[in-house]
Structure 1
Amino acid sequence: MTRHKGLQTAVVALSIFALLYALNRMMPLHRDDYDYSMVWMTARHITSFGDVLESVCRHYLLHGGRAVTVFFLDTFLLLGKSVFDFANALVFLALVVLMAMHARRGAAFWREPGIFAAAGLLTWLCLPHFGEVAVWKSGSTVYLWSAVPVLLFLLPYNVHLRVIGTGKEGTLSHRRIFAVPLFLLGIVAGWSVENLAVTTVVVSAGISFYAYRKGAMMPWMPAGALGALLGLIGLIGAPGNFVRYDAQGSGKGILTHIGNQFAGNGEMVLYILPAILLLILAWRLYRLRMAGEEVGTPSERKHGIGRFLLAAFVAFLVVSYFNGGFVAWALRDFLVGHVLVPLGLDKPKTIDHFNNIMHGFEEMAIYWLAIFLFYSWGKERLGLQKARIRALAPVPRCAVLARFPVAKYASRLIALALFNNFVMIAAPTFPARATFSSTVMILIAVLAVLRDPVVAAPIAARGRKLLVTAGGALGTFTMAAALVITHEMDEANAARLAIVERAAASGNPIACMEPIRRKNRALRHVFFVDFDNGVTKDGLCKYFGIANIKVTGAK
């Protein structure tokens, strides 16, 4: 049985790696990649390891403290795209493995292939701006490549925290020699990305202090925490941070920083909607058990025609999406002709912004409608209708957390994720990609409760097929869309890059091209913008030695 589960886990792991490798192979150099392909703030291409070190130092002094992630990026830009494609897919697989380990609070992730598959699928569906943080080179080396060392560093702390009070020893408890590698890994973890670095120091130091109070602190614990603190100091103490803040944060008051919190957290919630709904189902199952009731029988209410019509409409949207988006564009033409034009909102810039919105209309509609459709079915299958939940005797939240350790562990992870986001209040901006590590923490919480017998048993009995169907449908749609669009984007990029190269070779200072036609992003699993974008244009022009790029024609 163990061998069979190990084989299933291997198949899942191979599938995850293959998907990410395919996306990476089709993802070209883009935007900031060109800037980082040159020694920072110069026009000299990186051609040696010495150039990498010089560029990292210049970046540290002139732009920001993320020296470790910049070192990774510049090194891979030197080694070549093929090396990065393989390494990035492998690191993403490592992320999923470590998430499963943290959910188990143990290393033997291969014993639960279902949870491992759920980790891969939820990570795919819920990471905000997936293409930007897990595929694109400049983005993935900041967020993905920061999260993996941190999760690896915190794993022994998590395992040791679990066994404190049981009279057993943790994995590294009696091995003093591990103090040195934990110290060094702590430096890398602390020298990652700002909010995650702060959280890493707080967690490692907090667990070390708790273990000390319990008489269970081991030498590697404070050593690792000290390393993380030193890494954090190196990260935030960079002269480049002050240069960058003066440029981006000048004149932004506290209200702007507070507003950033609402924007960043709000966008994260939109992406983690499947995780939130799974947590709601799990919480209701905990309440039922706390109240001494078993999961009820599925609702005997016949499915209404409305639900089947909704399912048919979602299927119709899928057909439209993969055939030019005829539904979205019919709706676009109707709204322009009957709403925007009569209101006088028909300026070219307004129409262009509206067109960009409609490019993503169908994929968002399909995704959200499908999620709520499956959630509604799931509640019925588990007998968790709102009326039944309300009929239960009030169950205090604290009582539930006190009785069910896994629920308590998950709640602490969610609180830690919110703290991790709150640290961003010190930053001048809070883009959704900065919620990467917080999303990972929330997904670990979801995985932890999904494997808890209190939740897993009723789901296995009544809801497993539905969850597998839901995951398969959502995953297949988004993966197929991402692969198709990434392939088209790669071809479009190659054609436009050829124009830029010809202009540079002929001495023409300006490269002219038509705008890209495909602007769908597969729920942000694809990251690509046209060549006339400021960041893309400036980097490309400097890299190829031309003066300007002009994108002409109707957008």
Structure 2
Amino acid sequence: MNRKCRETVLAAAGIFLLMYALNYFMPLHRDDYEYSLIWLTNQHIASLPDVMESLWRHYLLHGGRMVAFFFLDVFLLWGKGIFDIANALMFLILIVLLTIHARRDWRFWQEPRLFAVMGAFAWLSFPHFGEVAVWKCGAAVYLWTGVFAALFLVPYNLQCRAMAQEKPPVRNWLIAPMLVLGVLAGWSVENLAVTVFALTAGLSWWARRKGAMPLWMPAGAFGAFVGLVLLVAAPGNFVRYDAQGSGKGILTHIGNQFAGNGEMALYILPVLLLLLAAGRIYRLHLAARVDMLHDNAARERPCALKVGQIACLLWILLLVFSYFNGGFFANALRDFLVAHVLVPLGLDKPRTIEHFANVMAGFEEMAIYWLTIFFFYSLLKRSLGFSRDKLAAARTVSWLEVMHTFPAARYAAFLLPLALFNNFVMIAAPTFPARATFSSVAMILVAACAVLRDPVVADVLQSRAKKTLLAGAAAICSFTMAAALFITAAMQEENAVRIAIVEQAAANGEDIAYMKPIPLKNRALRHVFFVDFDNGVTKEGLCRYYGIKDICVER
């Protein structure tokens, strides 16, 4: 095994161990209890026939995401321990597939740094990470179906690259596998299913126009169409839409687009800033100002911090210390704002104060995250020498010229609008939660890594900003990973105490289980997913699962 393979294996092991630890600490939660029962009954799933019965009832009464819920129900039947391993592997497989898409080549192990960067991007950028990649129900819906779609699209990507090199491979043996994978990819989540079908149908048409369309391309597109029809035509979709979409006009649907895309942009901010830096490097390169980028670039030179940067760094250190010591700064700020702002304005109802306290519970982690991002981006700009004169020179080059010159830029310019289209499909849905941007973020990460590995960009970043980027990545990832592991472990203990209360109430024949609220409020930038036990969805599923009538959280 050569050095690159060893480094890739090491990075893969780190990703797997992190994900396994999070899955190990994450208990059954919320909808997991609903899906542990035959749908809308109180009967526990105890066999594969029970799984199929539950899926059929779900298809008729709630929705068409059968691929996701088949795997969820099966793993809930087999036990949490098996799922913990399988889900960590699925996340690792997703990173492998996204790296393949960024390279447009199967040999992902040849770029261990790119593999590690993709893993870091995925950790930081997927909105509500704990909800879409760790929590069992959410991971089955978004992570698992995302893996099927990414795998299905790999042959299309490689085929298009081969056609660009005028060496189109013919792989007719792929017809049957691509048909099956197409059904799985199309039978995923609604917006991704539409995008997958539209993309594969369009690529098949384009390949036919070029006279180089192997038969597996339309076969896969047809499979995606079949999966899409099975997904959206489920009778349960209309039942659920009547319940959730009633009375919501077009303005609500349009407003959902701003909210969903806006929240996605907040999560992918580090990626967007790196794309901005890469774009400037491209433009400076074409502006015949290569000397500005490479002068004395044999090594990255340390630069003295400015007063503003020092102040920012001190604030970050104070907030980190407070965060891991009870959040005394956020608590003091919360109490001050309640006493001097909310109360004088008459906004002092208990429920209002509770909501405000929940918001303030995440203040420190968000502040640490944003301040760290902008602190290191300011260092990055200095390392790259982005002065006013250089940026003025860059603006003399159009983005069209950049895309015409650099294949990686063209590839990114294709993927970024595709991601926005994937989000736009959600306009048909009554709601657009940030977790629904999961597949769009995956496309953006592929685009970013494709650009960052381009030698024109990579050489400049390697020579001028390597230490800055490594320090920034280490600071942000270590903080969020430590916080996520710490909070998830603490949440597991709190959950176990309350489940014991519910089990005792059920064993005693009591109708109601009484408990205190979970004191934890921090969620490590949503890398941890939990809600209290009196939440509607959580309470209903738990009560039916344990055979009691109600859960009362004593607030």
Superposed pair shares fold, TM > 0.5: yes
TM-score (normalised: structure 1): 0.97
Distance 2:516 2:541 in 1: 19
Residue number among 212, 215, 238 corresponding to 2:211 in the alignment: 215
TM-score (normalised: structure 2): 0.97
In structure 2, the partner of 1:150 is: 149
Distance 2:123 2:302 in 1: 34
Identity %, equivalent residues = 60
2:141 partner SS: coil
Please say if 1:242 is aligned against 2:238. Answer: yes
In structure 2, the partner of 1:449 is: 451
In structure 2, the partner of 1:178 is: 174
Cα distance, 1:100 vs. partner?
0.4
In structure 2, the partner of 1:527 is: 529
In structure 2, the partner of 1:404 is: 406
Cα distance, 1:309 vs. partner?
1.8
Cα distance, 1:226 vs. partner?
0.7
2:525 partner SS: coil
Q: Deviations over 1:440-488 (max 9, x none)?
A: 0001111101100111000000111111111111000000000000000
Q: How do 1:15-30 and structure 2 match up within 5 A?
A: 15-30=14-29
The residue type equivalent to 1:266 in the other structure is G
In structure 2, the partner of 1:44 is: 43
Please say if 1:373 is aligned against 2:372. Answer: no
Cα distance, 1:393 vs. partner?
5.4
In structure 1, the partner of 2:58 is: 59
In structure 1, the partner of 2:354 is: 352
The residue type equivalent to 1:397 in the other structure is W
Residue number among 163, 181, 188 corresponding to 1:192 in the alignment: 188
The residue type equivalent to 1:280 in the other structure is L
Residue number among 346, 363, 366 corresponding to 1:364 in the alignment: 366
Q: How do 1:156-305 and structure 2 match up within 5 A?
A: 156-169=155-168, 173-294=169-290, 295-296=292-293, 302-305=304-307
The residue type equivalent to 1:453 in the other structure is P
Q: Deviations over 1:3-22 (max 9, x none)?
A: 10100000000000000000
In structure 2, the partner of 1:98 is: 97
1:345 partner SS: coil
Cα distance, 1:305 vs. partner?
1.6
The residue type equivalent to 2:116 in the other structure is A
**Runs ≥4 residues deviating over 6 A:** 298-301
Task: Classify 1:357/1:110 alpha carbon distance in 2 versus 1 (closer, same or farther; 3 Å).
Answer: same
Distance 1:387 1:437 in 2: 38
* RMSD (Å), alpha carbons: 1.3
Distance 1:192 1:53 in 2: 18
2:317 partner SS: helix
2:240 partner SS: helix
Gaps of 5+ in 1: none
1:94 partner SS: helix
Asked if the contact 2:284/2:393 (under 8 Å) is kept, the reply is no
Cα distance, 1:500 vs. partner?
0.2
The residue type equivalent to 2:474 in the other structure is G
1:512 partner SS: strand
1:143 partner SS: helix
Q: Deviations over 1:471-515 (max 9, x none)?
A: 111000000000000000000000000000000000111100111
Distance 2:505 2:395 in 1: 74
Distance 2:354 2:161 in 1: 54
Distance 1:14 1:301 in 2: 35
Distance 1:323 1:387 in 2: 45
1:141 partner SS: helix
In structure 2, the partner of 1:473 is: 475
| Structure 1, 411-420 or 303-312: larger mean CA deviation | 303-312
Distance 1:393 1:429 in 2: 39
1:517 partner SS: coil
Q: How do 1:423-442 and structure 2 match up within 5 A?
A: 423-442=425-444
1:16 partner SS: helix
Asked if the contact 1:99/1:444 (under 8 Å) is kept, the reply is yes
Asked if the contact 2:284/2:390 (under 8 Å) is kept, the reply is no
Distance 2:387 2:110 in 1: 33
Task: Classify 1:392/1:13 alpha carbon distance in 2 versus 1 (closer, same or farther; 3 Å).
Answer: closer
In structure 2, the partner of 1:72 is: 71
Asked if the contact 1:360/1:523 (under 8 Å) is kept, the reply is yes
Q: How do 1:312-351 and structure 2 match up within 5 A?
A: 312-351=314-353
The residue type equivalent to 2:258 in the other structure is F
The residue type equivalent to 1:456 in the other structure is A
Q: Deviations over 1:171-206 (max 9, x none)?
A: xx3331111001111110010000000000011111
2:2 partner SS: helix
The residue type equivalent to 1:22 in the other structure is A
Q: Deviations over 1:51-110 (max 9, x none)?
A: 000000010111111111111111111011011000000000000000100000011111
In structure 1, the partner of 2:107 is: 108
Distance 2:320 2:389 in 1: 34
1:402 partner SS: helix
Asked if the contact 2:186/2:223 (under 8 Å) is kept, the reply is yes
Gaps of 5+ in 2: none
Distance 2:39 2:239 in 1: 14
Asked if the contact 1:299/1:380 (under 8 Å) is kept, the reply is no
1:549 partner SS: strand
How many pairs does the alignment contain? 549
Cα distance, 1:167 vs. partner?
2.7
Distance 1:136 1:385 in 2: 45
